[in-house]
A and B are shown apart, each in its own frame.
Chain A
Amino acid sequence: MTNSPPLQDHSILETARRQVLEQGTGLAREQLLDVLRLPDEALPALLDLAHQVRLRHCGEDVEVEGIISIKTGGCPEDCHFCSQSGLFDSPVRGVWLDIPELVKAAKETAATGATEFCIVAAVRGPDIKLMNQVRFAIDRIKKEVDINIACSLGMLTRRQVDQLAGWGVHRYNHNLETARSFFPQVVTTHTYEERLETCTMVKDAGMELCCGALIGMGETLEQRAELAAQLAALDPHEVPLNFLNPRPGTPLQDQPLMNGKDALRAIAAFRLAMPGTVLRYAGGRELTLGDLGTREGLLGGINAVIVGNYLTTLGRPAAADLNLLVDLNMPIKELQKTL
């Protein structure tokens, strides 16, 4: 970066420059809270610092991923943000995706330049039927498409972790979603510890851990800082950062959209908590940040995107994001660099 705006007189920014940019050590929880409390006039300097951290510790590449639901709706869990819970009066109906359509979607995703294709199921954890379906899908995709396969199938047993690793699953997604202290207000059908247990097993089995966050659910800034610190302690390979898109019929349907500047502060804070992690734009950014905010986030710590649509909602057209990366002179990470 040339012509960087000078850092203003906010000591946390000076601290972050020394500690994160120069030494590669992420900020701690209280420091992250200071970042989240920075005033709007400090936002440009904060985003610039986060961008410099990303360039120095991750490089200039942007990782592109497509995601798809193999089993939609009818989930027995009560995650209050999710339209796929069978416990809420959501318009989302249960549906299974067949393997030929899944392979077709993987091919289309690879054609965008994406290196990751994540197969997702709305379940507490996979049963034998789903595991068999996933195994068959992985086999078919590996034969026909040059792309890394990730999975997100809920909570796993040790045996299932080993099976997925053995089948060549490159990365496993299991989100913390929110801070430990806020989690019981968002989910009551399983615990934070159960989520952590799956995350730990995934890492132990040698798969890359993708462990994300959903912010804007009514958590405090303290809890947002807590979440970033808890994710940093887990040290995932990737953190997908979602912004609440209030879904009809869910308990959070009336939650207001998160403020765009708060969202940008959060992006920068997550980058300063985890300087070397893949930090991916995920759901809700279109509503929370819009086109301009999307650009600012890519220049403020983000180094990965979900291309096109999400699991039950639509995203920006793939071409819009890919053109934006060209405009920003950010190359898409190539497949060989991810192996």
Chain B
Amino acid sequence: MSSPDLLPPAETPYCELCGLPLQAHSLQGVAPTEEEYDGGDAPPSYHHARCAVLLQLEPPRFCASCGRRLKVQVSPLGWWATCSRHGLHAS
């Protein structure tokens, strides 16, 4: 995401597993289709669908609101995670 016109708007949520924006928006706020996407070998929707599957066996690692890395504590029956900006998330 080096190009400024691909930066997500502030309210765009982030993937809790990989920390990248859930969708790569253009300035018009339209997500690129698979055909339009040129940022890699697969569109973001593909990557984050995979992240969603993996999150069944992973706690979140990144804040969904800002993409910051979380402090995560896992316990036998749950987990909780803290974002320095957005506070506590818990299972």
Interface residues of chain A, those whose CB is within 8 Å of chain B, are 66-69, 72, 91-95, 97, 101, 104-105, 108-109, 112, 114, 248, 286-287, 307-315, 318
Contacts and interface: CB of A to CB of B under 8 A. Distances in A.
Contact of A105 (B57, B71, B76): B76
A286 B57 contact: yes
Nearest to A247: B58
Interface of B: 18-19, 56-59, 61-62, 69-79
A66 B62 contact: no
Given A95-B71, A307-B76, 15 more contacts: A68-B74, A72-B72, A94-B71, A97-B73, A101-B75, A108-B75, A108-B76, A112-B76, A248-B18, A308-B75, A309-B79, A312-B74, A313-B58, A314-B79, A318-B76
25 contacts: A66-B77, A68-B74, A69-B74, A72-B72, A92-B72, A93-B69, A101-B73, A105-B75, A105-B77, A108-B76, A108-B77, A109-B76, A109-B77, A112-B76, A287-B57, A308-B75, A308-B77, A309-B75, A310-B74, A312-B59, A312-B72, A312-B74, A313-B74, A314-B56, A314-B59
A67 B77 CA distance: 10
Q: Which of A94, A104, A309 has the most CB of B within 10 A?
A: A309
A235 B73 CA distance: 33
A93 B76 contact: no
Contacts of B70: 93
Chain A's interface: helix, strand, loop or mixed, by majority?
Answer: loop
A257 to B, nearest CB: 12
Q: Which of B69, B70, B77 has the most CB of A within 10 A?
A: B77
Contacts of A312: 59, 72, 74
Contacts of B74: 68-69, 309-314
B83 to A, nearest CB: 11
Contacts of A93: 69-72
A67 B76 contact: yes
A287 B61 CA distance: 19
A68 B56 contact: no
Contacts of A67: 76
B57 A91 contact: no
Nearest to B70: A93
B78 A309 contact: yes
Given A91-B69, A93-B69, A93-B70, A313 B75 contact: no
